[in-house]
Structure formats: C-alpha cells, structure tokens
Amino acid sequence: MLEQVDLSKKMDKDEYEKMSEELGIHLGELQREAWEMGIPIIVVFEGWHASGMAEIINRFLMPLNPMGFELYTTGKTCIHEEKKPLIWRFWTKIPKKGGIAIFDRSWYRRAIIEHFSKDIPEKEFSDCLNGLTYFERQLADDGYLIIKFFLHISQEKQQKRLEDIRGRGVPLFLAEEEEEDYIREYQRLMPLIEKVLERSDISHAPWTIVEANDLNFATVKVMVTFIRAVEEGISREEEQRKRKTEHARECTIPALCPSILEKTDLDRSLAKSEYEEKKKEYQERLSSLQYQLFMQRRPVVIVFEGWDASGKGGCIRRLAQALNPRLYRVVPVGVPSDIELAHHYMWRFYKEIPEAGHIAIFDRSWYGRVLVERAENLCEEQQWKRAYREINEFEEILANYGTIMIKFWMHIDKDEQLRRFKKRENTPYKKWKITEDDWKNRDKWGLYKDAANEMLQKTSTTYAPWTIVEGNNKKYARIKVLRTVVETLEEKFNED
C-alpha cells in the first residue's frame, strides 16, 4: 500500500491557510451534527517516526470543540495495563454516542512493536491482529465510525526531520523510549507495516495513507478525509433510521429452540453432614489455590446466571468466604447507567475484567443481552442476535490472555421458585430482595427458558464452557459450584 504513494505532494502556505480555514468551519459544523445524531467517531493516527504526527493532530484539533473529543496518546503500558489483554486499554477508551476519540498511535502500534522487537511467532501475531479486527468490527456493527490514517514519509525526509528535532533539543518520543531501538530501521520496518496495513484494511474501517512529506498537504488531506467519512456516516445513519420505521414481516410460527435444560435432573440433593464436610474441604483447597493463581498471574472469571431466586448469591458467598478480599471482587450487574447505555454494550464489561492473578465473580453478566434484554425487548432483535458472536469473541480474547473462564447456569424449576419467592416475602430482612419485576419475569418463564437454552448452546465453547447447576437443593448446588471451581483451577494448573 505504501510503495505506490506519490510523496512529492505539496501545498503552499497561502493556499493551506485559506483551505484549512474553510474546512475547519465545515468540520466544526459536522462535529455538532454528529453529536446531535449520537454518532460516535474513532480517529486513529499511525505513521513513521517524525512523520509530523503531533503537529498534524494539533492542527486537526483546532477547529473542534474540546467538549466533544478526547485525545489519547498511546505510550508505554502502566502496571495496570500490563495485567490486562492488549485491547482492554482501548475498549475502555471508546467514545460515547456523539463523541470523538482520537488515538495518537493506537492498537496497531503494539502489534508492530511486539512483532518487530520480539520476533513473536506468526500464530501469535495473527491472533493479535484478529483481536483488533474483532474490536473494530464490533464497534462498526454498533454504529461507530472508524477513520484510520497512516502518515507516510520517505526515508530521506525522516532522517532530515530527526536531525532537526535533535538540533532543537526537543525530547524525541516523550513517553516512548522503548522505540529508540528501531527508529532508524525504515527498510526493515516497511514490509511489516505493509503487512499490518493490508490485513487491517477492512471496509468498515479502511486506512487512508496520508502523504506527509509536506505538513500542509497532509493536514488538508486528513481534514478532507474526515469530513467525507463523517458525511457518509451521517447519511448512512439517516437511511437506517428511516428503514427502521418500516416494519419487518412478523414470523407466524415459533422457532424450534434447543432444549438443553430439559435434561437437567433437578432431584439431586445432599445431606447436611456431607454438605458441611465437603464445604470445608473445598473452601480450604480454594483458599490455597488463589495464591497459586496470584503467583502465576492468571486471571479468573466466574459468571453466575440463572433464574431469579436460583441461589446465585448463596453460592457466591460460599466462594467469597474462602478468598482473600485483595484477590477477588464480586461484580453485580444491574440495569445499565445512562453513560453505559451511551457506549457499546460490551464497554461496561471490559471495564470490570480482573487483573492477572485476580478473580472476578460476576453476579449476572454480559449474558443479560441474550436473556433479559431479549425476553423484555430491551434491545433490537439484531442486537441480541449479534451478541452471541460478540460474547464468544470477548471470552476468546480473555481466554487467549490466559484467563480461566468458569460459567454457571443456576437452574431451578417453577415450583421451587414460587416457594422461594414466598419465603422471601415472609422474612422481614429478605423482603427487599423480591420486587414486582420478579413476579413479572416469572410470567415469562417460557420466553426466558428459550433464551437460556439458545444461549447455552451458542456460547458453550472450548475456552469458556457452561456448567449447569441443579439448584432445587441449595446444598447440592453450592457444593457443585465449589467443586467445579476447585477442580477447574486444579486442572488448568496441571495443563500448564
């Protein structure tokens, strides 16, 4: 992509000043329009060292309203970032609806650096690029505009600028000393950059190569490209909104759902003495396993989903009792806040993933989209249908990073739920646990069962399998949860 570029393009000062002023006004207007329509925009800048990136970005920022954008300079990772998958630091920085996030170096920088300096195996490099592709596709599916620039200069220009920068005593990389090594490696870097650009040049997030030997020309090209992309994005969005008002034909016969849950034997139970004995045993094993996890820097994600009153809280408490609060966190997932609703659905969950060596226990989770949001029509059909893939990709990224994934579906039958609801209503300090919503959800038992069955089928993966817990008997359920966690951890340690 870079070889054919004509780097001789130029623009003189007067023409630049005239054009950039006009384009700037246009840009400001488009920013307000996208803001009002709630279209989120991501702008990525990559490029050679000394390609003038800081100057071009600064000029691009001038006509924008600072209220609506955020600039992120991607430098060295800090200790928190090192304990999370690469893409975490970018997921957590995506803009909300109507906002603009500008990345001065991006997720590609890491891929290039790692590959260049550490000579990682091709497979790992591919995994990494795949992860980046998931990220961009998931955002684009959700209506994010992604505009990517690569600032291209010639080797001679680069040498001249580097000398000039040194001459002026400007610190070269600010926070990026690690790059010093290969700053002069133009020729060796070229094929690698070509490969990265080619493999990540996808229709919903294409690259624009910017001829940056001349800063005026480069700035104008960035502005023009941005304006055209945002204009296109706005009209695409307008189209889609129009289409949504035309109703799709409704299906006349119901779908055939998988029936995984039918096979569950809910009669299993456990005597009190056996319960106490096993609980003690598993809690002790768990208690020492957590320190092994910590020392091996492996993160663990434990997910609890299931019917209302199926005993999630009780199981979580039996796990938590055995753990050091410095190493685990219970993450209760409820109704999303306004700010969470203004981001991609997965954003709030990326923010909660555990550090390497820590355990996150989710009391309900990202599966809400294919359960409650589906059953209650809280999202569009295409959103929850898309979510199976989004979820699998999310869990794949966690698993590739070394995360041990354990997922429980707490299963009870309708009669047992009724008994528990009534008991809650009759116990003063448990009454707050039961609300109108619980009774309402109960009326939709069939809808929820279909959703659960489909979820269990579509999101049981090799890297993140589901465990169905027969929950009518609380003691049996708690021991099954404890045992599954302990045995999964021990297994994973033996694998390594």
Identify the residue among 141, 363, 376, 438 touching a copy of itself (CB under 8 A).
363
User: Hey, which bits of 137-271 come out as E strands?
Assistant: 145-152, 207-211
Q: Which one of 322-330, 378-386, 416-424, 444-452 is the stretch in contact with a copy of itself (CB under 8 A)?
A: 322-330
Q: Which two tokens stand for residue 234?
A: 């706005």
- What is the DSSP track for 345-399? TTHHHHTTPPPTT-EEEEES-GGGGGTHHHHTT-S-HHHHHHHHHHHHHHHHHHH
Q: Which is nearer to a copy of itself, 36 or 198 (CB)?
A: 36
Exposed / middle / buried, residue 428 (Cβ in 10 Å: 0-12, 13-18, 19+) = exposed
Q: Which is nearer to a copy of itself, 339 or 418 (CB)?
A: 339
* C-alpha–C-alpha distance, residues 368 and 351, integer Å: 16
Q: Which two tokens stand for residue 138?
A: 């998931």
Q: Least CB distance from residue 172 to a copy of itself, whole Å?
A: 11
Contact 107, 135 (CB under 8 A): yes
Identify the residue among 3, 167, 243, 429 touching a copy of itself (CB under 8 A).
429
Quick one: which of 152, 221, 225 has its CA closest to 11?
Answer: 221
Q: What x-and-dash track marks residues 6-45 binding a copy of itself by CB under 8 A?
A: -------------------x--xx--x-------------
Q: Which two tokens stand for residue 331?
A: 């993450």
* C-alpha–C-alpha distance, residues 362 and 360, integer Å: 6
Q: Least CB distance from residue 139 to a copy of itself, whole Å?
A: 23
Count of residues engaged in binding a copy of itself, rule: CB under 8 A: 47
Of residues 57-76, those binding a copy of itself (CB under 8 A): 57-58, 61-62, 65-67, 71, 73, 76
Identify the residue among 163, 178, 339, 465 touching a copy of itself (CB under 8 A).
339
Q: Which is nearer to a copy of itself, 71 or 190 (CB)?
A: 71
Q: Least CB distance from residue 303 to a copy of itself, whole Å?
A: 15
* C-alpha–C-alpha distance, residues 24 and 21, integer Å: 5
Identify the residue among 4, 14, 78, 249 touching a copy of itself (CB under 8 A).
78
Q: Quick check: 247 binds a copy of itself (CB under 8 A)?
A: no
Q: Which one of 243-251, 315-323, 372-380, 477-485 is the stretch in contact with a copy of itself (CB under 8 A)?
A: 315-323
Q: Quick check: 236 binds a copy of itself (CB under 8 A)?
A: no
Q: Which one of 219-227, 265-273, 289-297, 442-450 is the stretch in contact with a copy of itself (CB under 8 A)?
A: 289-297
Q: What x-and-dash track marks residues 186-225 binding a copy of itself by CB under 8 A?
A: ----------------------------------------
Q: Quick check: 435 binds a copy of itself (CB under 8 A)?
A: no
Q: Which two tokens stand for residue 206?
A: 């294409």
* C-alpha–C-alpha distance, residues 168 and 174, integer Å: 14
Residue type, 404: I
Who contacts 489 (Cβ-Cβ below 8 Å, separation ≥6)?
286, 289, 292, 293, 300, 404
Q: Least CB distance from residue 410 to a copy of itself, whole Å?
A: 17
Query: Which position has the token pair 């990494």?
Result: 128
Q: Least CB distance from residue 246 to a copy of itself, whole Å?
A: 33
Three-state DSSP class for residue 65: coil
Q: Quick check: 335 binds a copy of itself (CB under 8 A)?
A: no
Q: What x-and-dash track marks residues 92-131 binding a copy of itself by CB under 8 A?
A: ------------x---------------------------
Q: What x-and-dash track marks residues 138-177 binding a copy of itself by CB under 8 A?
A: ------------------------------xxxx--x---
Q: Quick check: 332 binds a copy of itself (CB under 8 A)?
A: yes
Quick one: which of 463, 330, 448 has its CA closest to 391?
Answer: 463
Residue 253 Ramachandran class (φ > 0 left, ψ -120 to 50 alpha, else beta): beta
Q: Which two tokens stand for residue 477?
A: 């359920």
**DSSP secondary structure code for residue 92 in this structure:** T
Three-state DSSP class for residue 466: strand
Identify the residue among 187, 252, 288, 377 touching a copy of itself (CB under 8 A).
288
Q: Which is nearer to a copy of itself, 128 or 309 (CB)?
A: 309
Q: Quick check: 79 binds a copy of itself (CB under 8 A)?
A: yes
Who contacts 24 (Cβ-Cβ below 8 Å, separation ≥6)?
62, 63, 223
Task: Please compute, for residue 265, the number of CA atoms within 13 A of its CA located in the half-sphere on the CB side.
Answer: 4
Q: Quick check: 231 binds a copy of itself (CB under 8 A)?
A: no
Q: Least CB distance from residue 432 to a copy of itself, whole Å?
A: 6
Three-state DSSP class for residue 404: strand
Q: Quick check: 291 binds a copy of itself (CB under 8 A)?
A: yes
Contact 39, 143 (CB under 8 A): yes
* C-alpha–C-alpha distance, residues 139 and 128, integer Å: 17
Q: Least CB distance from residue 186 to a copy of itself, whole Å?
A: 22
Q: Which residues bind a copy of itself (CB under 8 A)?
A: 25, 28-29, 32, 54, 57-58, 61-62, 65-67, 71, 73, 76, 78-80, 104, 168-171, 174, 288, 291, 294-295, 317, 320-321, 323-327, 329-332, 334, 337-339, 363, 429, 432
